[in-house]
Amino acid sequence: MQNIRLTLQYSGSRYAGWQRPEKDGYEKTVSYKVMSVLQKMTGEDICLYAGAKTAPGVHALAQTVNFFTGSMLSPGQFRTNLNRYLPQDIAVLDAVSVPDRFRADLNALSRTYEYRICTAPVYDIFTAGYTAHLFPMPHIDRMKKAADMLIGKHDFGCFSGIRKKKGTEKNLLDIRFELVRENRTSAAENTDSPADALIITLTADDFLYQMPLRLVSALLEIGQGQRTPENILDIFAGREKSSISCETKGLLLRSIQY
């Protein structure tokens, strides 16, 4: 029996997330597409274990999954055949054999998401599928003040789209704000022009369903003056509700740390 670890990259635009119950459209998920190809390759019922369960419309730069199989195919053959038969918006970057005790879902130490925002007055159409648009640039210092209140171990159930009373305490390890000046091709470009893109990076030991999106939404609402940094404490206390006001397409699973 082999334990194969895959590193996947996918565009989540046309999928209902990584995984959903069968009654909620399981066949429209990324996991279903990968599992279907693996089952045809091996003739086995394959169970995929994922390091993160991305929400509908969310992309992945590096998703980690593993599965057990009695097939004699090598990891390289799995990668080649998967890339041959999977849809073009799903790619296998790497496939390796790992010890039996490895589980992508149970052994992950932390997960990192990034949210990409074009803050230029004119939307770049060539990156629009993976970047949200918000003009003008939100107030970074206000968002940093709010981020300080979010970092640490808290009950993040108020920043989740699911209702459960247990398992909602997570440790948000880091929030970073990166100002980016996109490359321009014009020879007359002003090299002193301000940043026209913002990347917000979130790292936690784990994330609840919709938690990355709701955290980003709260930060952007604060950056736009719709909320104050102190409203983070109101959300934790249940006096206010979190919301999803940002575009899902700007969120990408960057990496999973083991």
Evaluate if residue 185 carries a pLDDT over 70: no
142-178 residue pLDDT tens: 999 999 999 999 999 999 988 777 899 999 999 999 9
Model pTM score = 0.93
List of domains in the chain? 2-97 (3.30.70.580), 110-257 (3.30.70.660)
Q: Report yes or no: 243 and 237 within 8 Å, Cβ to Cβ.
A: no
Please provide the average confidence, as pLDDT, over all residues in the chain. 93
Q: Report yes or no: 115 and 250 within 8 Å, Cβ to Cβ.
A: yes
Amino acid at position 213, single letter: L
What pLDDT sits at residue 193?
62
Phi, psi of 147, deg, nearest 5: -60, -35
